[in-house]
Amino acid sequence: MKKIALFPGSFDPFTKGHFSIVKKAMPLFDKIVIGIGENSNKTYLFSLEQRINFIKHCFKTTPQVEVGSYNNLTVDYCREIGANYILRGLRNSVDFGFERNIAQMNHAMMPSVETVFIVTDPELSAISSTIVREIIRHNGNASEFVPHGMLDII
- Residue ranges in contact with ligand ADP by CB under 6 A: 9-11, 15, 17-18, 21, 88-89, 91, 95, 120, 124-125, 127-129
Nearest residue (beta carbon) to ligand ADP: 17
Dihedral sign for Cα atoms in the order 63, 79, 27, 34: positive
Rounded to the nearest whole angstrom, what is the least distance from the CB of residue 113 to ligand ADP in the complex? Answer: 15
Active site residue 42: yes
Element housing 55 (H / E): helix 48-58
Given 16, 51, 88, 91, the catalytic residue = 91
Given 2, 42, 60, 138, the catalytic residue = 42
Comparing CB distances to ligand ADP, the nearer of 80 and 95 is 95
Task: List the 31-37 sheet strands across, edge first.
Answer: 65-70, 31-37, 4-9, 85-90, 114-119
Active site residue 137: no
Rounded to the nearest whole angstrom, what is the least distance from the CB of residue 93 to ligand ADP in the complex? Answer: 12
* Burial label, 144 (beta-carbon count in 10 A; 0-12, 13-18, 19+): exposed
Residues designated as active site: 18, 42, 91, 129
